[in-house]
Structure 1
Amino acid sequence: MKTLLPLAWASAWNRRLSLTLATLSIALAVALLLSVTRAREAAQTHFAQSVAGGDLVVGPRGSPVQLLLHAVFHLGDASHTLAWKSYQALAADPLIAWRLPLALGDSHQGFPVLGSTPEYFRHLGDGQQQGLRFADGRPFAGLFEAVIGAEVAARLGYRTGQQITLQHGASHLDAHHHDEDANHPEHADKPFRIVGVLAPTGTPVDRTLVVSLQALEAIHLDWQGGMPMPGLSIPAEAAGKFDLTPKHLNAVLIGLHQRTDVFRVQRQINAFGGEPLMAILPGLAMDELWQLVGSVERTLHGLAWLVMAAGLAGLVAVIVASLGERRRELAILRSVGAGRRHIIGLLVLEGALVTVAGIALGMVVVEAAGHLLAPWLRTRLGMDLSGATLSIEALQRVGAVLATGIAASLIPAWRASRMALADGLLPRL
């Protein structure tokens, strides 16, 4: 038995071309399987960081997932809003430690523009710490001042001190395209000055421009129905003389003094008499979102396992096809005292070596791809795979692949063990 390993290695080396192809097919399947697992784990981490910091998200009554996507991830369009007076009534609750009013609707070069208060930078976090860090500059203080996320600065080449104009309406253009959509005219008469650039967070904050609520009101003073009012133009320097108190919000992010009060406050908001509102727990809404996309994940895993099955079938086919050429080799082993269990052990060991080589190569491919694609994934999707490690689930899947590969090798091993000694020694006619 001590000679089985070098014997198996020497036998595999003699058939290295065919076994290399089998190894590559297993490596491809392992890389696909681990990539799906790692991408899902990174996405869950990214989403969890995005909802960290707030205890409740309040908005118009409707779909919790839609409210979460719009308020936290700035995706989709809001069909309803909540009144400013309702926000003021909610803010008076002594159980609430802080509240962040959120107003969305405008954009810049495909990136969403968010209206809020300077407390936004103090209470929001990245899942690791409370509060946002500035790579350069400071929070906005003046009326027409803006703070941009790290992705906005990187992809558009912006820095503090530059002037930009906002685009009316939520634009879904790719940020690489700077062509202005005719359906979304600009607020060209009221430019903003960039006063701060946020450090990367790996959350939707990275691709957001943040301005004050009053600024959003100011740029719409001479607008009605989504278009400039004919014959009316209010210059930027005169906008501050008007009442810029917001009339409506899209959502409110709430933090509590004690998290044990979260269900009590949620019930109070859901029963609010001023207008139909709802308060959602971000974590629960996230679980519902994952249930909605769970079928996609299961489909990808199913495809990965199908590719794995094809790779292992190729391994079995290669070993079985080689048995005809190895009949004399196996018969000689039997003649010098190798029993059936030695023959089975030899072929199973060969299959295990190929499977291990495929797993190792697949893991190397995943790690290399994770590091090479890390800047692109961090910029485009806000996910960082470069520092990810193999999770327990990934290790379990690798173990399952190894066990399946060894089990698949039993098929040709069992067939080889049944070959008679004379069948291998006698010449074939």
Structure 2
Amino acid sequence: MFLRLAWFSLLSRKGSVLLTLLAISVSIFVLLGIEHIRQQAKSSFGNTVSGVDLIVGARTGDINLLLYSVFRLGNATNNISWSSYQNIQSQPQVAWSIPISLGDSHKGFRVMGTDRGYFEHFRYGQKRPLTLAQGKPFDKVFDVVLGAKVAEQLKYQLGDQLTLSHGMGSTSFSEHKDKPFRVVGILEGTGTPVDQTLHVSLQGIEAVHLNWQSGPHKKRKKAEALADLQQLEPESITAFMLGLKSKMAIFRLQRNINNFPKEPLLAILPGVTLTQLWEMMAAVEQSLQLVSALVLLASLLGLSAMLLTSIRERQREITIMRMLGASPLFIFILIQLEAMLITLSALAIALLSLVATTMLTGEWLAKDLGVHLSPWAPNASSILMMAAILLSAFLVSLAPAISAYSRAK
């Protein structure tokens, strides 16, 4: 009887009830949506690079090494000699390695020199491999494979030619115009820094700097007419990634690299360093959660105000119920039940909207923003949050319920 009476009571004021319902639905959607995106973004952020056991670079800070080797942000304090790289990657516990050579750019996009092992071993997300939307990996010295964003923004197609330049500006006056590269492949979008990178071979990086007179690269003393440019060997690289045969060897090899006798090196565990970097942004997370909680509180206070206003308008209704034998407690419970019905309906609408939104936008978010958003599903955190919402609705509706109780005496 309580439920039926509360339902028809709400229907009699459907205009104000509907607006309150929508306001609470939107605020719950925002609160739960932000929490879901926060958890998924943290997971995606931690999987920007996946399956890599160690990242090695010149001795610097852990986060700085991660930023320039994975996110292409900033610059290395020093390079690593090629002989040191060969020494470490030939260790028996190393299964594979990916060399990284940075320093050049093309119209503001970073150029990365590497080898074909990059396309075979590099992983992102939940150990997803790189896939080519068009073409193939580089094979010749002057081949280049473009990230999805590079190809999209610069409108490049397979077979187009481009030139590399020094620095990171969109316009450069130090270009290797005499040694153009040809686009042979375009990668699928990953939502990671890979999308904004041009990938060339280590031999290509060395070839464009043969007899180079200026810039950050040391002048090479080799003849430009070298019979086979494919045999070029770099003097140094910026960093490299390692995959090991056994996880048990990670810390031992990390310690050996950090104590490498030939030059000062640093080996980091990318997962651990990514977690440290994410923790630096904890204040942003907390700010978003606080704002969404305040939005929800404002909506619930609106619910309380709506019910409080209706009490004054329903004095005649309350008098009639009292004449029919309804006790003040009956009136109190009725008002609380109305508040719970509105909140539960808003919660249902918000959850359905959230599930639909995450299902429809998941692919787009993964491709363009790198946030691999799985469809929303309840977990311990969201269940606690929903319980808190219902409790908050109960508390804010105490004022109108007590007011009705007092008027019914």
Q: TM-score, normalised by structure 1?
A: 0.85
Residue 342 of structure 1 corresponds to 330
How many Å apart are 1:296 and its aligned residue?
0.8
Residue 321 (str. 1) matches residue 309 (str. 2):
yes
Q: CA deviation at 1:359?
A: 2.6
SS of alignment partner, residue 253 of structure 1: strand
Q: Deviations over 1:227-274 (max 9, x none)?
A: 899xxxx98x76955973222222110111101111101111111122
**Equivalent residue, structure 1, for 2:61:** 63
Structure-1 residue corresponding to 2:42: 44
The answer as to whether partners of 1:122 and 1:130 remain within 8 angstroms in 2 is: no
- The answer to whether 1:217 aligns with 2:206 is yes
RMSD of aligned Cα (Å) = 2.8
| 1:207 aligns to 2:205 (yes or no) | no
TM superposition shift of 1:36: 1.8
Q: Quick one: structure 1 residues 36 and 223, their matched pair in 2 at CA, closer, same or farther if it must change by over 3 Å?
A: farther
* Residue matched to 1:389: 376
Give the direction of change, closer, same or farther, for the CA distance of 1:66–1:228 in structure 2 (3 Å limit).
Answer: closer
Asked if residue 253 in structure 1 is aligned to residue 241 in structure 2, the reply is yes
**d(CA) in 1 for partners of 2:201, 2:229:** 16
Instruction: Tell me which residue corresponds to 2:297.
Output: 309
User: What residue ranges of structure 1 are gaps of 5+ in the alignment?
Assistant: 172-179, 422-429
State the alpha-carbon separation in 2 of the partners of residues 155 and 375 from structure 1: 20
- Asked if the contact 1:46/1:203 (under 8 Å) is kept, the reply is no
Confirm or deny: 8 A CA contact 1:82 1:251 kept in the other structure: yes
Q: What is the alpha-carbon distance in structure 1 between the residues aligned to residue 408 and residue 348 of structure 2?
A: 36
1:55: how far off? 0.3
Q: Normalised by the size of structure 2, how large is the TM-score?
A: 0.89
Separation in 2 of the partners of 1:147 and 1:364? 42
Asked if structure 2 preserves the Cα contact closer than 8 Å seen for 1:53 and 1:130, the reply is no
Shift in Å at residue 107 of structure 1? Answer: 2.4
User: Is this contact kept in 1: 2:189–2:367, CA < 8 A?
Assistant: no
How far, CA to CA, are the matches of 2:17 and 2:327 in structure 1?
25
Deviation at 1:379, TM superposition (A): 4.5
Return the alpha-carbon distance in structure 1 between the equivalents of residues 27 and 214 of structure 2: 54
Q: Determine the C-alpha separation between the residues in 1 that align with 2:166 and 2:360.
A: 37
State the alpha-carbon separation in 2 of the partners of residues 366 and 141 from structure 1: 46
Structure 2 distance, partners of 1:396, 1:108, is: 49
The aligned residue for residue 119 of structure 1 is: 117
Q: Is the 8 A contact 2:362 2:375 kept in 1?
A: no
Instruction: Give yes or no for contact 1:46–1:202 (8 Å, CA) kept in 2.
Output: no
Q: How does 1:23-422 map to 2 (within 5 A)?
A: 23-129=21-127, 131-171=129-169, 180-182=170-172, 185-226=174-215, 244-367=232-355, 370=358, 377-385=365-373, 387-392=374-379, 393-421=381-409
Q: How much does 1:375 deviate?
A: 6.5
Q: Secondary structure at the match of 1:151?
A: helix
String of CA shifts for 1:354-393, please: whole Å, max 9, x gaps. Answer: 22233334345545655665566344422244x4323413
User: 1:132 corresponds to which letter in structure 2?
Assistant: L
**Identity level (%):** 41
Aligned partners of 2:314, 2:217: CA distance in 1, in Å? 84
How far has the Cα of 1:30 moved from its partner? 1.7
Cα deviation, residue 312, structure 1 = 0.9
User: What is the aligned length?
Assistant: 406
Letter paired with 2:192: T
Unaligned runs of 5+ residues in structure 2 are: none
Deviations 1:19-74 (A, max 9, x none): 33322332232232123223222322322332212101111222211211211122
